[in-house]
Amino acid sequence: MFQPLGFEQRSINTSLGRMVYYTAANSPWQDNVTAQDDRETLVFLHGFGGGSSAYEWSKVYPAFAAEYRIIAPDLIGWGRSEHPPRNYKIEDYLTTIREFFEQTCTGPVTTIASSLTAAFTIRVAIACPDLFKSLILTTPAGLSDFGEDYTRSFFAQVVSVPVVDRLLYSTGIATSGGIRSFLEQRQFAQPNRIYEEIVEAYLQSAQQPNAEYAALSFVRGDLCFDLSLYIQQLTTPTAIIWGRKSEFTGPSIGRRLAEMNPQVIRFFQQLENVGLTPQLELPAVTIGLIRQFLPLLN
């Protein structure tokens, strides 16, 4: 799978298995890394969907490698990390995300996270505020916010049927056509922004052994929850970026969430003509916004 120039793959062991992550260790970042071991850490966490992985942030995090220690993991069940054959639950990710921070970070860090994983990160920050310095989140949503029930959706119901779920995954998700279709229809606002490398990176992740378990748990709705029940407990300074054309949850949901805790959620930036993952669709704009928010939050 794709790995940016100068980054290497490392791993830690969590209670659910080995979690792979990427960090700058070679040229052109090597001299800076060895000379600045005390630099601040930025952690980038990808969202969920067929073929998700740390690749989602790979057009963004190298822009910070000269100034920060960068860590970008593949979460358990995704990318090159282990894929335990299980029906994943919310607690699995709350636990392994916390374990990852405890093993890779020595103090409070700034975390940049996406979609449902961003919502999980909010809950980890509520439970363990000492792990976090600030949060910069793209489209943070539990996908069942304000009483919505994602599990009642037609697609979630279909994927809940045994045998049918794996057939749909192998024929409709873990194929080049399936990946491209999902990106075009559900993830990007502008299909012409999707190029072959993006499709290939998602496809390689989706075709890892046992990759269907985490993906189907997500699509069934097993990992969804109502973020509005938790957001007021957050104390970590936060900025939110939201693509106006996000297919799963629109910016009105994001604004309602932000307005529940305005003292902590200090910035809400809506991006026009952008979908669920501005970090892939408009990486330069996303880099600029992260740079803008970092000093304002910290």
Cα of first residue to Cα of last residue in the chain, in angstroms, is: 33
Burial class (CB in 10 A: 0-12, 13-18, 19+), 200: middle
Kindly report the length of the chain.
298
DSSP for 146-196? GG--GGGSHHHHHHTSTTHHHHHIIIIISSHHHHHHHIIIII-S-GGG--H
Q: 58: closest CA among 42, 44, 48, 40?
A: 44
pLDDT(288) > 70: yes
- 219: nearest Cα among 266, 280, 263, 178: 178
Range of the domain at 51: 7-297
Tokens of 227: 């973020």
* 70: β partners: 42
Q: Tell me the one-letter amino acid at 37.
A: D
Question: Is residue 36 included in any domain, yes or no?
Answer: yes
**220-261 pLDDT tens trace:** 899 999 999 999 999 999 999 999 999 778 999 999 999 999
Task: Report the alpha-carbon angle 57-185-265, nearest 5.
Answer: 50
| Residue 87 pLDDT greater than 60, yes or no | yes
Q: Across the chain, what does the average pLDDT equal?
A: 92
What does the pLDDT look like over 140-198, one tens digit per residue? 999 999 988 766 666 666 666 665 667 788 888 889 999 999 999 889 999 999 999 99
Find all residues with CB under 8 Å of 115, minimum gap 6, and list them. 47, 48, 138, 139, 140, 141, 248, 276, 277
Angstrom distance (rounded) from CA 218 to CA 120 = 13
Residue 120 counted as domain residue: yes
Average pLDDT over residues 281-286: 98
- Please give the average per-residue pLDDT across 35-60, as a whole number: 91
Report yes or no: 35 and 123 within 8 Å, Cβ to Cβ.
no
How much is the pLDDT for 170?
83
Which pLDDT score is estimated for 283? 98
Q: Is 234 helix (H, G, I), strand (E, B) or coil?
A: coil
Quick check: 6 and 17 in contact, CB under 8 A? Answer: no
Check whether 1 has a pLDDT greater than 70: no
Domain total of the chain: 1
Tens digit of each residue's pLDDT (9 = 90 or more) over 91-128:
999 999 999 999 999 999 999 999 999 999 999 999 99
The predicted pLDDT at position 293 comes to 98
Domain assignment present for 2: no
CATH number for the domain that contains residue 20: 3.40.50.1820
Give me the pLDDT at residue 38, please.
79
Q: Is the peptide bond before 28 cis (omega within 30 degrees of 0)?
A: yes
